[in-house]
Chains A and B, each alone.
Chain A
Amino acid sequence: MKTAVEIANDVQTGATTAVAQLDAAYVAIEARNAELNVFLHLDKEGARKIAQAIDARVAAGENIGPLAGVPIAIKDNLCQTGIPTTCSSKILEGWKPPYNATVIDRLVAAGAVPVGKTNLDEFAMGSSTENSAFGPTRNPLDPSRVPGGSSGGSAAAVAGDMTSISLGSDTGGSIRQPAAFCGIVGMKPTYGLVSRYGLIAFASSLDQIGPFSKTVMDSAVLLEAIAGHDPLDSTSLPEPSPSLVSHVNDGVAGKRIGLVKELYEGADESVINAVMGAVAALKEAGAQIVELSIPELRLGLSAYYLIAPAEASSNLARFDGVRFGLRVDAEDVTAMMEATRTAGFGAEVKRRIMLGTYALSAGYYDAYYGQALKVRTLTINAFQKAYAQVDMLIGATTPGVAFKFGAKSDPMEMYLNDVFTIPTNLAGDPAVSVSFGKGEENLPIGVQLLGPGRSEASLYAAARVLEIADGRS
């Protein structure tokens, strides 16, 4: 399959058309969607109109933009006007947003063509898409295994050659972990770099939208197109979109890279070997490797599984049968709300709402939520100390390769899969997962590069070195 950069170039030069690219995407989607359950909704009519308009503008000699005519898959927790948006929850089934997320407007402005909405763990809570109310997504590389989550559908769309790029969201690893499991590139940008306006909130202080792609260059092109200040998101960083594409081939010569014990210890042997192989490749390319231990990162999981549920319990209070989606009628308003939420939310969402409600309740607030916010400070301080010594950090994205369906039936066991990705979200920093090496059953392994806030350009340059070293020029 062609990369987004190649498609955009071909559309702009007239070698192909946006409509032809869209038709090809739908053929690829329909060939495997029944088997893999990647898309929950396809917007064929709307996408065709956008593609036709692009072709007309190309014919008129206009310069379309960096994503000219590129079909893109959208995680179904991003609002798109008039397109069913479910968060893979029965509580939102049938609801059609009356507005676009800012990222949708920016994608279309850059020439991209949104083709449809992809499956996720309900409200982005999960690491396998097994928590979707509409059935799990299967990993295109091995359909007996999960694609990861929560953005499993968006990762599978790219890994399954349905679209060259897609958007996901990452609260505790929901872009990087599925990217690792599906053998692609997934970037969790700096908190506030991409507007969250129109992203249905899970944990607002951690959520961040980001790109999936096969190549590092496509990731940079897509992120550059959606990043930059948005007055509609009060947590949006004040500056315009950074220059990323021009730095992808900067290399790592002279960079100091910290190999962090806590970001690979406990992982499968094949994963540790992949991380060491990546370290060797970076060293070969001129980086200086510094071995580090950051013990504070071990506390991240506990802090995250109190902070994220606490924020979720507050954010998901809005699903009460009044303004959108499902309502289960009952004799009075409280009974209606209880009946609606009981019928509308799945088990994992209920678990997290209750955990968060407990962590925020009188008598426990200081011990759980308050303490977790201080651990967040501790994590940030520990990262800052590390970044005083090195330019970026390296570790594993996940402890193992994509697991089989049902392999992690205990919630705590599932949560432990996020141990290497969570600390970044607590710090608000960026991190990218790039496929490097293979593990059991020839399944892909993700290596994670982490940097301080706003260091996406350096992370892409290092990821590009690894991409080349792994045999993808």
Chain B
Amino acid sequence: MSPSLSRDDVAKVAKLARLRLTEEELTTFTGQLSGVLEHANDMNSLDLSALQPTSNPFGLTNVTREDVIWKSLDRDAVLAEAPDAQDGRFAVPRILGEAP
């Protein structure tokens, strides 16, 4: 796996992450992100096929609770902190018509 990133790779990633970059930022970030990925070469050259991945260090999985009604946040208090709200809901600009 080649570690070096192209400007196109970074532009694609920025789009996926909903970030807009200037041409200058694209150049800077491409160099910096390549540097981090190059450092990861020490890891990528290892054969770790015998190991399982770890996401929780103590192996906790699928923690559930009793299905009972539990305290929740007050709707009005939450909406009061939102950029825009309408009829007890978060309000957003037009959602139809865009091509993400």
Question: A interface vs B, CB < 8 Å?
Answer: 95-99, 191-192, 205, 231, 234-235, 237, 298-299, 301-303, 305-306, 313, 320-327, 329-339, 341-342, 345, 347, 350-351, 353-355, 357-358, 361, 364, 367-368, 370-378, 380-381, 410-412, 415, 426-429, 453
Contacts and interface: CB of A to CB of B under 8 A. Distances in A.
Contacts of A336: 92-93
B69 interface: no
A332 B65 contact: no
B49 to A, nearest CB: 8
B48 A378 contact: yes
Given A333-B93, A341-B19, A354-B13, A205 B55 contact: yes
B89 to A, nearest CB: 11
Given A333-B94, A350-B29, A428-B57, 6 more contacts: A323-B82, A323-B90, A332-B98, A335-B98, A342-B20, A377-B52
A323 B14 CA distance: 22
A378 B50 CA distance: 10
Interface residues of B, number: 55
A235 B63 contact: yes
Given A302-B42, A331-B93, A373 B83 contact: no
Contact of B81 (A96, A329, A342, A355): A96
A419 to B, nearest CB: 11
A318 to B, nearest CB: 12
Contacts of B33: 351, 354-355, 358
Contacts of A347: 25
A332 B9 contact: no
Contacts of A353: 17, 19
Interface of B: 1, 5, 9-10, 13-14, 16-21, 25, 29, 32-33, 35-37, 39-44, 46, 48, 51-58, 60, 63, 65, 73-74, 77-78, 80-84, 90, 92-95, 97-98, 100
Contacts of A235: 56, 60, 63
Contacts of B13: 354, 357-358, 361
A338 B43 CA distance: 33
28 contacts: A98-B74, A98-B77, A98-B81, A235-B56, A299-B46, A313-B17, A320-B18, A323-B82, A327-B83, A330-B93, A331-B93, A332-B95, A339-B20, A347-B25, A350-B21, A350-B29, A351-B32, A354-B17, A358-B33, A361-B13, A368-B37, A372-B43, A375-B46, A377-B51, A377-B53, A410-B32, A411-B32, A428-B57
B16 A361 contact: yes
Contacts of A364: 1
B95 A333 contact: yes
Contact of B83 (A321, A341, A372): A321
A314 to B, nearest CB: 10
Contacts of A358: 5, 9, 13, 33, 37
Nearest to A307: B55
A376 B57 CA distance: 9
B98 A334 contact: yes
A357 B56 contact: no
